[in-house]
């Protein structure tokens, strides 16, 4: 029998869910806290973070800072920047991981599958041929072949370069 190791899933299963919104970030967070929260990039109205419980390697989340739950609640500036950062995140993911495609989606409301229904966020899920194999179909198990810290470290230099370019 072959064993599949996904130790981060047990943390999700056993731990209490946070009492705070995972998308409400403190503007004065330190770099250590950024890494702990898996934040890769901050812009004026939105930010990009790695999903702690990914569907595949490189599953990113793009969210506005403001705690809103519908597209209608976003200002025009927030909407534009949110989707600019989706485009940015896809471009960086292409450079870092070379996926063959993407699923990009917004789950609006708990009934639509939103894990955090009251703070809008966009999922960017890189896809490769064969990434949804028999394990997903038969065993209802998803194999994520790379640990979060390794994926974070792959992405970080690309996002840091964008930040440095924006500052100059």
Q: Which residues are identified as catalytic?
A: 121
Q: Is 155 exposed, middle or buried (0-12, 13-18, 19+ CB in 10 A)?
A: buried
Q: Is 15 exposed, middle or buried (0-12, 13-18, 19+ CB in 10 A)?
A: exposed
CB 82 within 8 A of CB 46: yes
The residues near 47 (Cβ < 8 Å, ≥ 6 apart) are: 25, 39, 41, 62, 63, 65, 85
Tally the residues of the chain. 168
CB 25 within 8 A of CB 65: yes
User: How many CB atoms within 10 Å of residue 123?
Assistant: 21
* Spatial separation of the C-alpha atoms in residues 90 and 10, rounded to whole Å: 29
């Amino acid at each position: 029998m072959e064993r599949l190791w996904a130790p981060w899933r047990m943390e999700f299963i056993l731990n209490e869910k946070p009492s705070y919104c995972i998308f409400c970030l403190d503007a004065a967070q330190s770099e250590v806290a950024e890494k702990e929260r898996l934040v890769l990039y901050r812009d004026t109205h939105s930010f990009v973070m790695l999903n702690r419980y990914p569907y595949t390697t490189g599953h990113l989340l793009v969210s506005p800072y403001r705690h809103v739950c519908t597209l209608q609640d976003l200002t025009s500036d927030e909407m534009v920047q949110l989707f600019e950062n989706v485009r940015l995140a896809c471009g960086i993911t292409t450079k870092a991981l070379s996926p063959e495609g993407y699923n990009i989606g917004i789950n609006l409301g708990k009934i639509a599958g939103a894990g955090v229904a009251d703070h809008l966020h966009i999922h960017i899920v890189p896809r490769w041929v064969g990434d949804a194999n028999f394990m997903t179909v038969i065993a209802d198990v998803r194999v994520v072949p790379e640990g979060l810290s390794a994926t974070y470290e792959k992405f970080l230099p690309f996002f840091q370069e964008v930040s440095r370019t924006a500052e100059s």
